[in-house]
Amino acid sequence: MMRRPPNGAAALPYLLILPTLFFVVVFTLWPLIRVIYDSLFVENQAVQVPQFAGLENFLALFMSSAFRDVLYNTLIYVVITVPASTLFALSLALMLNREFKTRGLFRLAFFYPSMLPMVSAATIFLFMYTPGYGLINVFLSFFGVADQNWLGTPSLALPALMILGIWKQTGFYMIFFLAGLQGLPHDIFESARLDGASTLQSIRYITMPLLMGTTLFVTTIAVVNAFETVDQVYIMTSGGPVNSTSMLLFNMYETLFNYLDIGKASAMSVILIAMLLIFTTINFINTERNATYE
């Protein structure tokens, strides 16, 4: 016979999640529905009362070369910074997982950039990238590299932002990898060493598969962070020069708050959400397939 649960306890789970559910609905679900709804209307400075337009906003965006440039810039940024920062983070974590005296100091040094607000970091880097007396140009001149106008040259501006992004986020991901590494059992590595495996082999065949869960998490966070890049653009380049650093979230901000084009901005939001959803789903499926769990 099934034991009847005590009175009131059946409602307990729902009551417990109610506050969180409330916030998720108000700040995530409702805006999502609203933005999808708004993207189907034309509403801008010339059309103050929303007019239904179906998929016209999306069509207009994909046909505009400016928006295609925005997508291209954003994808380049993601495709380069995510693997780079993940790899750096993993290498740093592997190196800093060993025992040595000043280990704590190094961990702090690498983690420190991620504690800075991005706006502060961007303002500092704005002056570091100055032609002539900016620190980066001075440093490079020791290696004989000519003075560069980093933020004023279309081909260099986006790399400049990418360097800042990687510098800032690597420490953050390193912490996750460190935590993952410290959760790994020691006996497997010992037996591998007894069998004659080199360090690299043990990293490749033991550490990596066991870290798949952490790697999945880090890459997902890294991709979402990369898509959300806006602070550096706002502070350092405003999307220039010649739209070479115009990225999706910044363009959305401009479209909504500077041009008051609610329809187009909503359409861009939907595109961003769709891209992130697709990526996260593929990432999960892929990594789950390859993951080995304890």
Partner 1 sequence: MKKFQTVLFACLMIVMLFTACQPAPTPTAAPSAPAASAPSTATELTFYYPVAVAGPITQIIDGYIAKFEQANPDIKVKAVLSGGYGDTLTKIQTTIKGGGTPPDVAVLLSTDLYSLVDSNAIMPMDDAIKAAGGDTLTSDFYPAYLANSNYQGHIWSLPFQRSIPVLFYNKDMFKTAGLDPAKPPTTYQEMVDDAKKLTKADGSTWGLEISSDGIPYWLFQSFVIGSGSNVFSASNKVTFDSPVVAQSLQDFMDLSGKDKVMPTGILLWANMPNDFANGKAAMIWHSSGSLTNILKQAKFDVGVSYTVGEKGFGAPTGGGNMYILKGISPEHQAAAFKFVQFMTSPDIQADWSIHTGYVASRKSAYDTQAMKDNITKVPQAGVAPAGLQYAGPELATHNNAQIQKFLGDAVQAALTGKSAPADALKNAQQQADQVLSQFKE
Q: Which residue in the set 37, 205, 257, 284 belongs to the binding site for partner 1 (CB under 8 A)? A: 257
State the nearest-atom distance from the C-beta of 68 to partner 1, in Å: 14
Judged by CB under 8 A, the residue of 18, 108, 135, 282 near partner 1 is 18
Residue 275 pairs in a beta bridge with none
For partner 1, which stretch binds (CB under 8 A), given 81-89, 149-157, 198-206, 209-217?
149-157
Nearer to partner 1, 133 or 142 (CB): 133
Phi first, then psi, for residue 41 (nearest 5°) are -120, 155
Is residue 145 involved in binding partner 1 (CB under 8 A)? no
Among 109, 115, 179, 242, binds partner 1 (CB under 8 A): 242
Give yes or no for a cis peptide into 154 (omega within 30° of 0). no
- Torsion-angle region of 64 (φ positive above 0: left; ψ -120 to 50: alpha; else: beta): beta
Segment interacting with partner 1, rule: CB under 8 A, options 9-17, 207-215, 223-231, 275-283: 9-17
Q: Which of 263, 266, 251, 253 is nearest to 47 (CA)?
A: 263
Tell me if 151 contacts partner 1 by CB under 8 A.
yes
Is residue 256 a contact partner of residue 38, using CB atoms and an 8 Å limit? Answer: no
- Regarding 97 and contact with partner 1 (CB under 8 A), the answer is no
Collapsing DSSP to helix, strand or coil, 51 comes out as: strand
- 38: closest CA among 264, 214, 282, 275? 264
* 221-240: contacts with partner 1 (CB under 8 A): 237-238, 240
Residue placing its CB nearer to partner 1 in the complex, 97 or 130? 130
Task: Give Cβ neighbours of residue 203 (< 8 Å, ≥ 6 apart).
Answer: 94
The Cα 108–Cα 123 span in angstroms is: 22
Report the residue from 1, 2, 46, 63 that binds partner 1 according to the rule CB under 8 A. Answer: 46
Query: Which of 36, 44, 184, 228 is the binder for partner 1 (CB under 8 A)?
Result: 44
Does 260 help bind partner 1 (rule: CB under 8 A)?
yes
Confirm or reject binding of residue 49 to partner 1 (CB under 8 A).
Answer: no
Query: CA–CA distance from 140 to each of 74, 128, 132, 164, 167 (Å)?
Result: 27, 12, 11, 16, 17
Residues near partner 1 (CB under 8 A) are 6-9, 11-12, 15-16, 18-19, 22-23, 44-48, 126, 130-133, 149, 151-154, 237-238, 240-243, 254, 257-260
